Structure 1
Amino acid sequence: MSTTELRPAAEPRRSRHGWLKEHSELGICVVLAALGVLVLVDAFTIATDFTQRGPVGPKTVPYLVGGLLLLVSVLLARDVLRGGRGKAESGEDVDLSAPSDWRTVLLLSAAFLANAVLINVIGFPLSGMILFWGCAYALGSRDTVRDPLVAAVLSVLTYVVFNHLLGVPLPGGPLMGVL
């Protein structure tokens, strides 16, 4: 018997890239922690120079949310480092081997960007209509009569609910006097 037969087989060395791939959930932990810090820093800058009407002030909920985001990120990181793995959702009917649909992503991004650029120029009802119609088009709807009508109704309804019922002012644009 030779000496090479008695030695146990050496384990293959894992590269840093391999370790990170096996622990990819740590990326979510970093995002949650960063979001928690951002919320806490933003909550710290909230002005408290107004009259408080009860025991809960304007900083309470942001502090709670920021703290919970940090707690969840730490608990998730601990679980991942102990070997926990996220399981694929069995109810999804997504083919993970299919390539990404970048056309849809770009069309959705364009609809959101158009809304952001146009909202103060033409007002929410019109920019919202472009947003709703653009998203419907990007997601595959091609009805040239129904889609713009549904987009217009959704946009105007959203404007009326926010502007008049909830008291959240949205830019009205040229339709300001009509609605």
Structure 2
Amino acid sequence: MSETTTAEQTAPHTTTHATSWWREHSELGVCALLAALGVFVLVDAALIETDFAQRGPIGPKTAPVAIGIALLLVAAILAVEVLRGGRAQAESGEDIDLSAPSDWRTVLLLAAAFLANAALVDVIGFPLSGMILFWGSAYALGSRNTVRDPLVAAVLSIVTFLAFNNLLGVPLPGGPLMGVL
């Protein structure tokens, strides 16, 4: 009977110990994410077609390959550091209460503003969808000024549109305001 009691006592302890080990080494999740992202970037870089005349030694695969290798290298270095017992220190200058629960309302409102922008950019154009994004983000983060916020959002959206479209040569959908801008 004492053997059964001993086996029953050690089973929860191993589960608790495994949970405790993962909790103490939670940064390994970041390592796994970085490694997966590095592999994704490298695979995507390998699929880039280079069926054009290359001008110079650096081709279109150079930057993605360098970034993919850097991601894998950082993941490996971080994993070694975590497994050696290194732990990240909390920011001393932050005034965040880590015991407070997450503010899911803000996260969901920001996600809604972003998704609305993504869904509407081709339909109503960037100036209007960007305005929704900027105003929605301000609202989600706590600003409730009904006059200033839409005006600032409109100015930011139009300036961003003009900078990308006219100065940088990156065409963005203009929507119904394309003739005006």
Cα deviation 1:81-128 (Å, max 9, x = unaligned): 111111111111101111111111111011001101111110110000
TM-score between the two structures when normalised by the length of structure 1:
0.91
Please show how residues 128-147 of structure 1 align to structure 2 within 5 Å. 128-147=130-149
Paired with 2:93 and 2:48, the residues of 1 have a C-alpha distance of: 42
Structure 2 distance, partners of 1:54, 1:164, is: 29
The Cα shift of 1:15 comes to 2.5
Decide which structure has greater helix share: 2
TM-score under structure 2 length normalisation = 0.90
Aligned counterpart, 1:103:
105
- Matching residue of 1:172: 174
2: CA distance between counterparts of 1:153 and 1:40?
Answer: 39
Give the aligned CA root-mean-square deviation in angstroms.
Answer: 1.3
Inter-partner Cα distance in structure 2 for 1:41 and 1:145: 48
- 2:56 match: 54
* SS of corresponding position for 1:109: helix
Instruction: Note the C-alpha offset of 1:163.
Output: 0.9
Q: Which amino acid aligns with 1:116?
A: A
Q: Secondary structure at the match of 1:167?
A: coil
Task: Tell whether 2:55 aligns with 1:45.
Answer: no
Q: Which amino acid aligns with 2:24?
A: E
Between the two proteins, what is the percent identity of the paired residues? Answer: 74
Q: Where in structure 2 are the equivalents of 1:121-132 lying within 5 Å?
A: 121-132=123-134
Given the alignment, which residue of 160, 163, 167 partners 1:161?
Answer: 163
Following superposition, the deviation at residue 173 of structure 1 comes to 0.7
**Secondary structure of 1:64's match?**
helix
Q: CA deviation at 1:51?
A: 2.1
Partner of 1:152: 154
Runs of 4+ in 1 over 6 A off after TM superposition: none
Query: Counterpart in 1 of 2:89?
Result: 87
Distance, in Å, in 2 between the alignment partners of 1:15 and 1:85 is 18
**How far apart are 1:129 and its partner, in Å?**
0.1
CA deviations 1:131-171 (Å, max 9, x no partner) are 00000011111111110010001001111111111111111
**Aligned pair count?**
169
Q: Which runs of 5+ in 2 are unaligned?
A: 1-12
**Matches of residues 18-29 of structure 1 in structure 2 within 5 Å?**
18-29=20-31
